[in-house]
Amino acid sequence: GAGVSQSPRYKVAKRGQDVALRCDPISGHVSLFWYQQALGQGPEFLTYFQNEAQLDKSGLPSDRFFAERPEGSVSTLKIQRTQQEDSAVYLCASSLGVSGGAGQPQHFGDGTRLSIL
Amino acid sequence: AQSVTQLGSHVSVSEGALVLLRCNYSSSVPPYLFWYVQYPNQGLQLLLKYTSAATLVKGINGFEAEFKKSETSFHLTKPSAHMSDAAEYFCAVRTGGGNKLTFGTGTQLKVEL
């Protein structure tokens, strides 16, 4: 496929469990972003990678959230000891250029809908 | 800090009528502005972007937006609504030196027969 791929599409977990969400960006895209979208809201920035380097993690809500992109392609967002307030759609986006290329658009995946019981 | 405000969380139009979705931005530097559309259970799809090349920007599916610095606005329009336009629309801003997108709260567009 040519687009950004995210898995799983849906994830249900019990409070306190750890979860891992995967993102496969468009091939060759240098920049990768994670966003959190609560119900009825716009997406909110979590973190940004340029290749394997995590350049901005200012949006991560707590130290329970961790993201990595070890080889500069696939990325994983991990949430430890999940809480009910973590329930949201997690969107991944990728962009072609270095440093996000401010004028370059971000291409979004379909997201992972996380529900914490 | 850069931000966008979308006026009207819900907009309803008749099929064939003009679509106008409002977005105002706040930015201390020349902004890069985007409109995205989101269909149910899907990610965001880029409609159009403003990057200072031209104030009137044409996008996909017949949408366009005009950047007005004096009004700090970037409203989205379409001359004639189609049933398939029913979706949620997000305005977003990114500054020249930054990378992340800051989104508005979205406008749900309903198209009625």
Instruction: Quickly state the pLDDT bin for B99 (edges 50, 70, 90).
Output: confident
pLDDT, one tens digit per residue, over B40-54 is: 888 899 999 998 778
3-state secondary structure of A84: helix
Q: How does pLDDT run across B16-47, given as a tens digit for each residue?
A: 999 999 999 998 777 889 999 999 888 899 99
CA–CA separation, B19 and A14 (whole Å): 43
**Least confidently predicted of A68-82, A85-99, B74-88:** A85-99
Taking the Cβ of residue A44 and every Cβ of chain B, the question of whether any pair is shorter than 8 Å is answered with: yes
How many angstroms separate the CA atoms of A5 and A27, rounded? 11
Q: What is the pLDDT of residues B1-21, one digit of tens each?
A: 788 999 999 999 999 999 999
Across the interface, whether the CB atoms of A43 and B101 are under 8 A apart is answered yes
Percent of chain A surpassing pLDDT 70: 94
CB-based contact B25:B76 (threshold 8 Å): no
Q: Is the backbone of residue B71 left (phi > 0), alpha (psi -120 to 50) or beta?
A: alpha
Percent of chain B exceeding pLDDT 70 equals 96
Q: Which two tokens stand for residue A28?
A: 């060759």
Distance in angstroms (rounded) separating the CA atoms of residues B75 and B91 = 9
Across residues A45-62, what is the average pLDDT?
A: 93
Q: How confident is the model at residue A108 (pLDDT cuts 50, 70, 90)?
A: very high
**A63: nearest Cα among A50, A81, A76, A49:** A81
- Facing A41 at nearest CB: one of B43, B51, B105: B105
pLDDT at residue A65 tops 70? yes
User: Do A9 and A112 meet the contact criterion of CB atoms below 8 Å apart?
Assistant: yes
In this prediction, residue B72 carries a pLDDT of 93
Whether residue A7 is predicted with pLDDT greater than 90 in this model: the reply is: yes
SS3 state at A86: helix
Strand blocks (E) in chain A = 5-7, 10-13, 19-24, 31-37, 44-50, 53-56, 65-68, 75-79, 88-95, 107-108, 112-116
Residues of B with CB under 8 A from a CB of A: 32, 34, 36, 41-46, 49, 51, 90, 92, 94-106
Task: Please check the confidence at residue A103 and state whether its pLDDT lies above 80.
Answer: no
Average pLDDT, chain A: 92
Q: How many CB atoms lie within 10 A of CB B35?
A: 26
Read off the pLDDT of residues B63-89 as tens digits, 9 standing for 90 and up.
999 999 999 999 999 999 999 999 999
Residue scoring higher pLDDT (A97 or A92): A92
Res. A2 pLDDT band, cuts 50 70 90: confident
